[in-house]
Structure 1
């Protein structure tokens, strides 16, 4: 009972300790606010600019969510195709790796030329940032299905589609949720990067304008909100993962 309480409390205790040490270090070494503001100053900035922070946070959340959903749908579809076919797996994998190796920040100026500034480049950046991990994880989950298991199922009269639907896709769920928990944070990164370059709304734009006038507490307040949104989305998918793939996460959750 005590161990379980410590496990549940550990993240909150560590966060509190982190901000407490941060506050003490800034006070003891007299670090100026425009270099590294104290957590209490950042919190005061959150209350002072709560309207602007709420507006830009909602915009970033919207662009991230749209790009993320599109990446999940497209990634699952392509991942199933690639994972189901050895030929596609071998043929498309190098191209996917090459596409993912391109720095996403370098794509944003091209998107501006194509679609202009605003919401669309942020959505597309969130999409391309999230697409590759989903595709690869789904394809890997399907491609690693044991040939012996497939042979047994075919012997029992199962068709290739039935094997895919009843065995292959359920097998990929742990891979999928592992990617989703990482990808949702990457989607926020993609949106914010685009907003700093090609938008007049969103957290990225707010960070850019605040840093231009050396309002570092507001910059940190905006970064803090992005972190909170990322943690919240991660927790949602972790909860869904526990409910849908509990059989694959028993050891992680400490159950038998």
Structure 2
């Protein structure tokens, strides 16, 4: 039975994941690697089942924290991106500052946030926000700033105002850029929240991993990493689905070509 290319493309991620897990297990068993150095997938699975309740509790907190920071980043980033992308002067004036701010490692902000807001959830939310809003700003601004001048001239000649052009042409044209930024931003938001939890929190997957590493419980550390990875993949796929549903018109030509 010959599988179609569509079926193969759907099975490919699962097959590759299975191969990685099997190879990982074989290497750990074949070289007798101690679990405190590199736990085998079977040990991670067993630890995950044994610690399912606390892992879910910490994972739920991390997910809520990440989504809160991500939501603020999307709102703030979209609004700022609209302002930056709709004005060439603001684009040139503000863009270097945004690039410079994004170049600063966000872990450097965590001690400052702890001094301002204390240890807990707020620094994690703000770190998720700080690390994830930049892709939203850049993509929305790029989508608006790449509107063809000829199209703007035609719309103006038909009596359209600058606001009309922004609402009826600029924003729809920037939607593919916007949804592309969401897929990047949500993964970065997880990085930010977990990074803050490892430094300045007493709850969350980051805190759980730091506590486990201090007692050399590496299977639990890797179980936390797996949970973070699964949450990131699920959220990424969710926004990819929304992108296909809402902005499918932007890739119809590409899909037809394949």
TM-score by length of 1: 0.98
Match of 2:224 in 1: 222
Match of 2:55 in 1: 53
Q: What is the CA RMSD across the aligned residues, in angstroms? A: 1.2
Match of 2:41 in 1: 39
CA deviation after TM superposition for structure 1 residue 187, in Å: 0.2
Which of 234, 237, 240 is the equivalent residue of 1:235? Answer: 237
Map 1:102-117 to 2 at 5 A: 102-117=104-119
TM-score by length of 2: 0.97
Which of 157, 160, 163 is the equivalent residue of 1:158? Answer: 160
Match of 2:22 in 1: 20
Query: Is 1:247–2:223 an aligned residue pair?
Result: no
CA deviation after TM superposition for structure 1 residue 93, in Å: 0.3
CA deviation after TM superposition for structure 1 residue 254, in Å: 5.9
Deviates more, 1:246-255 or 1:74-83: 246-255
Any runs of at least 4 consecutive aligned residues in structure 1 with deviations exceeding 4 A, and if so which? Answer: 251-256
Q: Deviation per CA, 1:36-80, whole angstroms, max 9, x where unpaired?
A: 111011011110100110000000001000000000000000000
Which of 184, 187, 209 is the equivalent residue of 2:186? Answer: 184
Work out the CA distance in 2 between the residues paired with 1:251 and 1:13. Answer: 29
Match of 1:91 in 2: 93
Which of 198, 201, 221 is the equivalent residue of 1:199? Answer: 201
The SS at the match of 1:65 is helix
- Give unmatched runs, 5+ long, in structure 1: none
Aligned residues: 256
